[in-house]
Amino acid sequence: MKFPFKTIALIGKHREPGIARPLLRLADFLAEKGIAVVVDALTVEYLKQASYIHLNKSSYGVMELAEMDGKVDLAIVLGGDGTMLNIARNLAPHGVPLVGVNQGRLGFLTDISLDTMLQTIGNMLEGQYVVEERMLLTARVLRAGAELYSSLAFNDVVVHRDNANNMIEFEVRIDGEYVYNQRADGLIVSTPTGSTAYALSSGGPILHPGLEVMELVPVCPHTMSNRPVVVKSESVIEIEVLMRHASFVRVRFDSHSYFDLENKDRLEVTRYAAPAKLLHPVGHSYYHTLREKLLWNKSL
């Protein structure tokens, strides 16, 4: 049978011993179907350290994430949503579609269980899948007009204080128009994907991942009238730090990378040009995932 994916990359959660056996089982399953299998270099390194050295003696290739552009047709991520966030940031610029296998319970992004992994992925190889595109953010830090740092974010870009003494103050502009000055513990700029993460716990709305919008969610604002705002995805969001008090201010990107901000630094957040492409089994339901993850199916 001719499959739509000729070369598939396997990526496991870093330093997770329980991922080795299912990953190797999946690699053998794909190889038996005549699919070329490559394994992420960091995953292989960990498997070697964990004494799963027989992977090196197999016919599976080893490849860095940065090398996968144009060389793999699909990446299967075994881990959790955090692992998927990291891989999506790396592979979305290259247009590599992603499938997520969750180690434990159903995840927001990793929606295939280990128990049904082989059967479900086997069906997907035969074309039984749906494609979902999710937007990412790109953000850059400007100081006196010069760019000092930039990063992608799948969930959110968060400006926050890093000490317990003072709130931080910042000015927000959208598409060049002044919106407000705010004192708060922080501000979250989130994608629809990130609306069920930190933004949700800070009182933001749940946004369907198919929407092309961004939301701004204040974290513990000083004034209760400062509420979440949803804007179009084409907006340019500017956040200028105003250090009128002794505060240590940091910007984080998906809680993965960060940069320390100084007075008058400006953070510019926009939509990233390329989406992350997620493949789901036929019948995948976002609302089913919400019910499972947020316990909406539990009787009161």
Catalytic residues: 81
Per-residue tokens: 101: 């296998």
- Residue 222 φ then ψ, to 5°: -65, -35
CB 38 within 8 A of CB 63: yes
Of 19, 252, 72, 228, whose CA–CA distance to 154 is shortest? 252
Structure tokens at 196: 């069920």
Segment (H or E) for 215: strand 213-219
Q: How far is CA 184 from the centre of its chain?
A: 25
Q: Is 119 helix (H, G, I), strand (E, B) or coil?
A: helix
Cα four-point dihedral sign 124, 126, 128, 130: positive
- Give the CA distances from residue 16 to residues 11, 56, 133, 292, in Å, rounded to whole numbers and listed in that order: 12, 18, 28, 24
Q: State whether residue 195 is helix, strand or coil.
A: helix
169 to each of 185, 186, 291, how far by Cα in Å? Answer: 9, 9, 37
CA atoms of 161 and 15, how far apart (whole Å): 30
> SS3 for 85?
helix
